[in-house]
Structure 1
Amino acid sequence: MNQQAKDWSWPFWFLVPLYPYRRRRTLRHEIVKDTIWTFDQVQGILYTIVPLRMTVVRLEAGGLLVYAPIAPTRECIRLVRELEAVHGEVRHILLPTASGLEHKVFVGPFARQFPQAQVWVAPNQWSFPVNLPLPWLGFPRDRTQELPIDSHQAPFGDEFDYAVLDIDLGRGSFGEIALLHVRSHTLLLTDTLLSIPAEAPAILQMDPYPLLFHARESALDPIADTPENRLKGWQRIALFAIFFQPGCLKTVQLGQAMREAIKAPDHSAKAYFGLFPFKWEPDWEASFYALHGNGRPFIAPILQTLILDHDLQGVAAWAEQVASWDFERIIPAHFDAPIETNAYEFAQAFAALQHPPEAAIFGSQSQPLLTADVDFIRKLEETLDRRGITSTPQATSSDK
């Protein structure tokens, strides 16, 4: 293995076997000069990849706070060490979610690289299929503790404010910690809010193959690296990632998919042996522009439909607390960052929970999602509830 491959290697990829598996690039951006940095990697399935983001904040008292760790590859750790050399060691590592496996799996390995750091976790941590204690999941036993509900009780409470969202789902919980860095007016989030960029994020451009894979119209098209194909591939990936099965996407019948695979110009494993069972409707771009919505922040339909509606009152109280803060940008753990926005637009996004995803308007320059694009998620919720895999909001409330 050459040095470059060693730098990108993540040997525990099999714990959550998602693309890019063993080889993970890391891209660091400075968001606020000498104060806040983002570290992006990619993660996904079937080349439907999106950024997975860690944020590092310099503490006024010296040292660093890490929000939502990513895979601690050699490259990633080297980039963090460069900040430590200037601003002091990592002092706090924060897992801001109770349910996000793609975040939780990295905390233990990341923390072992920084044995001096205290590890803080969102309340009501759980694991599936067996609910194991955190030390059994690799968290350091002697320096991991639950984040206090009152931010003034945290050792970094003089520089940050935070609000804890905790939703009981019956068989687990959904949790998110909104963390405000007061001095820089920056809000850190994990999953609750996101923004879709018009073009592919820089971390996806470092290896454009997934973009080019999805830019094709059929298996018979060659992989061609052009700016137009990178853009088209990104827009389709975004639709896949948010809607799973957008209304503008049709699946090719198995027989036709197999015949086209035989004629495909690339039969390698990288190209999934020529299989490409997707067919996009001519007007698919309208779905993307509705999703992009001029870059406005919004709540993912899957989160709104399956999670947040289980405790609308609790979500409203949490959102009201966050909206009372003074911030001018949001850094979420996925898709675009930073989102240049404010508390008013944050409140607008959560007020939209009172409406179905396709009926929500976020400001005068936005537009709602297309009804056909959210149909699959709505049907998915009905199926999961009917089979008892999830519970309806009413059932969850009556069980408490």
Structure 2
Amino acid sequence: MSEYSWNFWFTLPIYPYGQRRTLRREVVRDRLWTFDQLQGIFYVVVPIRMTVVKLDAGGLLVYAPIAPTGECLRLLHELVADHGPVRYIIHPTVSGLEHKVFVGPFARACPQAQVYIAPQQWSFPLNLPLSWLGLPGDRTRVIPDEPSQLPFADQCALEVLGPINLGTGWFGEVALYDRPSRSLLLTDSLIAIPEDPPAIVQLDSFPLLFHAKDSPFDRVEDTPENRRKGWKRICLFASYFRPSVLETAPWGQVIRDAFKVGDRSRKNYFGLYPFQWTDDWQRSFEALRGNGRPLVAPVLQQLILNRAPQETLDWVERVSQWHCDRLISAHFQSPISITKEQFCQAFAFLKSQDLWTPAPLPNIDLQLLAEIDQVLCDRGIVPPSKLSR
């Protein structure tokens, strides 16, 4: 068995399944580190990130655990040898199964750690009991209404967003601020899109080159330019599901073309490639990236945070009082240089806008998410948006 093996991949059967590489990066010398792994569907792969904070009182705090593979634990134990054991594990989301599924196994690998979870836990598509996910009952606590009561509160401040009622479930997120390093840790609520694929994504070039194709018959050379091309398209998929610059060929044609493709292996999805990108597809990526500015992911904008705009803005106001030098998100780019003004501006879409206020993202690219939102509202699955436009 390799040190990259993740034996419980079947609990969340998405790429890269049972083999997960881990990359550790020291963000603040002898104080803060990130651990990156990879996850995705249909080769739409993005980083999933854990952050480890050194505690002044001794030991380590882990925020948003990832799969505890042999490699991941080896890299963690190197820090433990220098700084002491993992004393606290923070599970900072409510509905994110892609984060929750790792908490129990990670906690079992760190037997001295107390586990703190965001309130109102819920999972989709199955609302699994926490015990089914392996969280240790004797060491697991819900983050209290007054996070200042937590044993590490002298060093790390917490602010809880939500839980936001989504009708069939809940959304929530815990922001953590490490005072000594002046670092803000978030999970899903804020991201930044890098122009080049992150290092963890570059370890496996196949997804990048797969999405760099313009037709199922292309043989794409492994070059930095083609890796970047594939990455940009992956970002559009991950952000919008179906951006306006993407068209899909009729499935009859897709299947006929698949029989003509040289590589019809399972890895190459049997030659199936339904994607057709318009000539100006890069304009959508540039609008999304916005020169690397922090932004709220389109899915959260269109389907989640618009259900509780004032509650979210109140949370933004509280978090913005922290004096941050950097933001570490659990996905895409990290670290992100950020100012208080940039942090608040990212959530400006939650404020009432008149007709002359430009949208932060092109409405044409948000069309599919808007349609999904409307269908969910019409069927009474989610409450209506509270945003006025």
Please tell me whether residue 375 in structure 1 is matched to residue 371 in structure 2. no
**2:62–2:88 contact (8 Å) kept in structure 1:** yes
Partner of 1:83: 79
Select the structure that is richer in helix. 1
Partner of 2:383: 391
The aligned runs of 1:182-261 (5 Å cut-off) are: 182-261=179-258
Greater shift, 157-166 or 384-393, is seen at 384-393
Change in CA separation of 1:359 and 1:99 when aligned onto 2, cut-off 3 Å: farther
Please tell me whether residue 172 in structure 1 is matched to residue 169 in structure 2. yes
Partner of 2:121: 125
CA–CA distance in 2 between the matches of 1:159 and 1:360? 40
Deviations 1:208-250 (A, max 9, x none): 1000000000001014211111010000000000000000000
Identity %: 55
Please tell me whether residue 324 in structure 1 is matched to residue 316 in structure 2. no
Partner of 2:33: 37
Letter of the 1:374 partner, please give it. L
Partner of 2:334: 337
CA–CA distance in 1 between the matches of 2:363 and 2:384? 21
Please tell me whether residue 146 in structure 1 is matched to residue 142 in structure 2. yes
Change in CA separation of 1:64 and 1:360 when aligned onto 2, cut-off 3 Å: farther
| Of 287, 290, 304, the match for 2:287 | 290
Structure 2, unaligned stretches of length 5 or more?
none
Greater shift, 106-115 or 146-155, is seen at 146-155
**1:161–1:180 contact (8 Å) kept in structure 2:** yes
- Following TM superposition, the consecutive aligned residue runs of length 4 or more in structure 1 with deviations greater than 6 angstroms are 358-361
User: How big is the shift at 1:263?
Assistant: 1.6
Deviations 1:240-299 (A, max 9, x none): 000000000000111221222112121110000111000000000001111110100011
Letter of the 1:140 partner, please give it. P
**2:167–2:381 contact (8 Å) kept in structure 1:** no
**1:69–1:93 contact (8 Å) kept in structure 2:** yes
**RMSD in angstroms over aligned alpha carbons?**
1.6
**2:157–2:176 contact (8 Å) kept in structure 1:** yes
Greater shift, 52-61 or 303-312, is seen at 303-312
Please tell me whether residue 116 in structure 1 is matched to residue 108 in structure 2. no
CA–CA distance in 2 between the matches of 1:197 and 1:223? 22
**2:236–2:243 contact (8 Å) kept in structure 1:** yes
**1:179–1:189 contact (8 Å) kept in structure 2:** yes
Give SS of 1:263's match.
coil
TM-score, normalization by structure 1? 0.93
Give SS of 2:3's match.
helix
Change in CA separation of 1:129 and 1:222 when aligned onto 2, cut-off 3 Å: closer
User: How big is the shift at 1:144?
Assistant: 0.1
User: How big is the shift at 1:162?
Assistant: 1.2
Give SS of 2:131's match.
helix
User: How big is the shift at 1:325?
Assistant: 1.0
Deviations 1:321-361 (A, max 9, x none): 001110011001000000011222101111232268x9977
CA–CA distance in 1 between the matches of 2:225 and 2:256? 27
User: How big is the shift at 1:145?
Assistant: 0.3
Please tell me whether residue 304 in structure 1 is matched to residue 301 in structure 2. yes
Pairs aligned (count):
384
Partner of 2:42: 46
Partner of 1:27: 23
Change in CA separation of 1:359 and 1:190 when aligned onto 2, cut-off 3 Å: farther
User: How big is the shift at 1:316?
Assistant: 0.9
Partner of 1:72: 68
Deviations 1:172-198 (A, max 9, x none): 211100100011110000000000001
Structure 1, unaligned stretches of length 5 or more?
362-366, 395-400
**1:188–1:331 contact (8 Å) kept in structure 2:** yes
CA–CA distance in 2 between the matches of 1:69 and 1:330? 17
Letter of the 1:378 partner, please give it. A
**1:36–1:57 contact (8 Å) kept in structure 2:** yes
**2:187–2:331 contact (8 Å) kept in structure 1:** yes
TM-score, normalization by structure 2? 0.95
Deviations 1:26-49 (A, max 9, x none): 011110011110000011100001
Letter of the 1:246 partner, please give it. P
**1:197–1:295 contact (8 Å) kept in structure 2:** yes
**1:190–1:333 contact (8 Å) kept in structure 2:** yes
Deviations 1:339-394 (A, max 9, x none): 011222101111232268x9977xxxxx9422221111101111122233323236
**1:360–1:368 contact (8 Å) kept in structure 2:** no
